[in-house]
Structure 1
Amino acid sequence: MSNGGTRERHAWIEPGAFEVAPGIHRIPLPLPSDGLRAVNVYAIEDGGDLVLIDSGWALEEAREQLETALGKIGYGFEDVRRFLVTHVHRDHYTLGVTLRRTFGTSVSLGIGEQPSLEAIIAGRADGQLSQLRRWGAAELTELVEANRQGDGQSRDHYELPDDWIEGTTEIELATRTLRAVPTPGHTRGHVVFLDAESSLLFSGDHVLPHITPSIGLEPARAQLPLGDYLDSLRLMRGYPDMRLLPAHGPVTGSVHSRIDELIAHHDDRLALTAQAIEDGAGTAYEAALKLGWTRHNRRLDELDVFNRILAVGETAAHLDVLVTRDSLRSSMVDGIVEYRTASTSAPE
């Protein structure tokens, strides 16, 4: 891609407040040292106040940028009545929590995030170390332990929400009605918000225009996160098509077309992951070593440690779906999940 193409692709991260529909502004906030570059917060003007979809990461740079952007549309932090948060990841949840301490703003979160949030608050979020061991990634586990930093500061930015969003529910605002729909997969408690009258979907990380969301990166990982994710995609495909207002990337025209691309992508990855087992891989880690990663088809060992964790977790998620489809078999051997083709006998 040319430099011009790269700039165009990342134009959405430029600071500001951008009207995407009457009374709705997209506000990108920075994610320093994060490959995602920025997170979109959406400010909905509502009867003289604001309701924000997601909040950003609790960093001073993000707080200042949000305050500046709100000022450009005539509001301040004191005017934010409520944060509707799509999921518990720090770039969506933590700035809302810190602003609540000063301004008393209400914070809402999907009930499925409760196990992970309680684990984070209690200091039991171990960076998926136990999962890495199950996935056969002993080498990667050692790297994580050697480079792990204390997470006490990050825990300081996590608290329970004011209310939990349970099931599909209508959220009545002063000027519009939003429908909250649980879409587990990226995390267990991920929710999206539909504005049916305006034909808009605030998709969080469930549907993104340029990348495929990570699956199951959370302290309390679901048993079958990719299965949940594919079910959630099919659920949203059943709604009328809408404009896509994602957490990362530009606003785009069709939720349906992007969902079709994501389902096709995972079909391809399932086939490649099954082939890795056919070619001799026995664990999720070994399969991840045989697969290509990112748009540039990089080897696993070319990624940084965090993205290697994501890659191995993604591989395990695909392998477990293949087991449920009877394409593969799995068994636990000395605390490690081993996979084999359906025609191969189990180890003695």
Structure 2
Amino acid sequence: MTAGTASADDWSTPGAVEVSPGVHRIPLPLPNDALKAVNVYALTGPDGVDLVDSGWALANARDTLVDALAGLGHGLPDVRRFLVTHVHRDHYTQAVLLRREFGMRVSLGVDERASLEESMRPDRLPMEAQLTRLPSLGAGHLVELLGDRFRRHLDVDEPIWELPDDWLQPGTTVSAGGRNLDVVPTPGHTQGHVVFHDTDERVLFAGDHVLPTITPSIGFEPVLSPSPLADFLSSLARVRSRPDALLLPAHGPVAPSAHARVDELVAHHGQRLDQTEDAVRRGSSTPFEVAGILRWTRRERELADLDPFNRMLAVLETTAHLELLVAQGRLRTSVADGVHHFAVA
């Protein structure tokens, strides 16, 4: 196995693996996530270290990061800046926690501001927007199950949502580790998601926008986008229009071609749109009903076999596909008793 590569099984093994000259992939643990780990990328230069993404603010994630940086001859005081792809907990919160102690800068895409400010609201229930929407999608029964889970989460969650030092503007260039990185807007997973593209060295720090083995969730944020799937597909086209690059994802092993994976993701969603339309043609009407016809994960599982949290994600993703089909003129929508229904146009 060559330097910088990892199989789908061992990519989460702790350590620092060089994936490009001066760039090391550092997987940090997640507490209870099937993704196993999140990749943080260390860009080393003569003046210190810049990190792309930061990991979840957990003691074992901090320890793992400290050990990996030590292997590169650095410590946390050498970190100058965090460049964060989006404002999810596993990408942003450790940066905030470490900034309190060491004072490094934290930079985030400007279009994440609304969701971050919503997360900072002290009385906000986690996933509040998603829970509020579920009854209108025919999945109101999930609210009680998930609401209790998230209320328990509030009791133990430290308030670690704070504003960044810098708001990254789309279309600009930032310097990190002696490299010039283009800040490319890629809304879809979240509205303010950005990727960092080094065109000189042909490297793409892709965050959760392009993942090598799974399809990222869309519209997974406190302030919901009106068209997350359309945004995501447009963002894929934007990445595809740029020079190809080594794919450095936030979850999973490094892949040789960002373009190749983009093509797979576009094909997947095209197929999913067809399957969603077919479910409506067969008589399903609400997003919950359609999600129950579709199959989920690479194991082709039924909706009822998923835990309540992933059932919620499945219903929300199905809704995004249904709404895009309406925008394309393939379906029409109506509301009865507060519930959205879809039918063939």
Secondary structure at the aligned position of 1:133 is classed as: helix
In structure 2, do the counterparts of structure 1 residues 69 and 174 end up closer, same or farther at CA, with 3 Å as the change threshold? closer
Corresponding residue of 1:197:
200
Corresponding residue of 2:335:
332
The Cα shift of 1:331 comes to 2.0
Mapped contact 1:39–1:247 kept (Cα < 8 A): yes
Mapped contact 1:116–1:220 kept (Cα < 8 A): yes
Mapped contact 2:43–2:176 kept (Cα < 8 A): no
The Cα shift of 1:8 comes to 4.3
1:134 counterpart (133, 136, 140): 136
The Cα shift of 1:303 comes to 0.7
In structure 2, do the counterparts of structure 1 residues 125 and 112 end up closer, same or farther at CA, with 3 Å as the change threshold? farther
Task: List aligned pairs for 1:1-348, cutoff 5 A.
Answer: 8-122=7-121, 123-127=123-127, 128-148=130-150, 149-151=152-154, 153-154=156-157, 156-173=159-176, 175-342=178-345
- In 1, distance between residues paired with 2:161 and 2:45? 27
Corresponding residue of 1:345:
none
Mapped contact 1:291–1:299 kept (Cα < 8 A): yes
TM-score (norm 2): 0.94
Structure 2, unmatched stretches of 5+, are 1-5
The Cα shift of 1:332 comes to 2.6
Identity of aligned residues (%): 52
Mapped contact 2:43–2:177 kept (Cα < 8 A): no
- In 2, distance between residues paired with 1:141 and 1:274? 26
Secondary structure at the aligned position of 2:106 is classed as: strand
Q: Read off the aligned partner of 1:293 and give its amino acid letter.
A: W
Mapped contact 2:25–2:40 kept (Cα < 8 A): yes
Aligned residue pair count: 336
The Cα shift of 1:150 comes to 3.7
Mapped contact 2:109–2:194 kept (Cα < 8 A): yes
Secondary structure at the aligned position of 1:160 is classed as: coil
- In 1, distance between residues paired with 2:235 and 2:116? 21
Corresponding residue of 2:3:
none
- In 2, distance between residues paired with 1:319 and 1:251? 32
Structure 1 runs, 4 residues or longer, greater than 3 Å off: 152-155
The Cα shift of 1:147 comes to 3.1
- In 1, distance between residues paired with 2:26 and 2:248? 11
The Cα shift of 1:115 comes to 1.2
Q: CA RMSD in A?
A: 1.4
- In 2, distance between residues paired with 1:119 and 1:125? 10
Corresponding residue of 1:4:
none
Mapped contact 1:187–1:217 kept (Cα < 8 A): yes
Structure 1, unmatched stretches of 5+, are 1-6, 343-348
The Cα shift of 1:152 comes to 5.3
Per mean C-alpha deviation after superposition, the further-off stretch among 328-337 and 226-235 is 328-337
- In 2, distance between residues paired with 1:291 and 1:155? 37
- In 1, distance between residues paired with 2:16 and 2:177? 22
Q: Read off the aligned partner of 1:224 and give its amino acid letter.
A: S
Mapped contact 1:136–1:284 kept (Cα < 8 A): yes
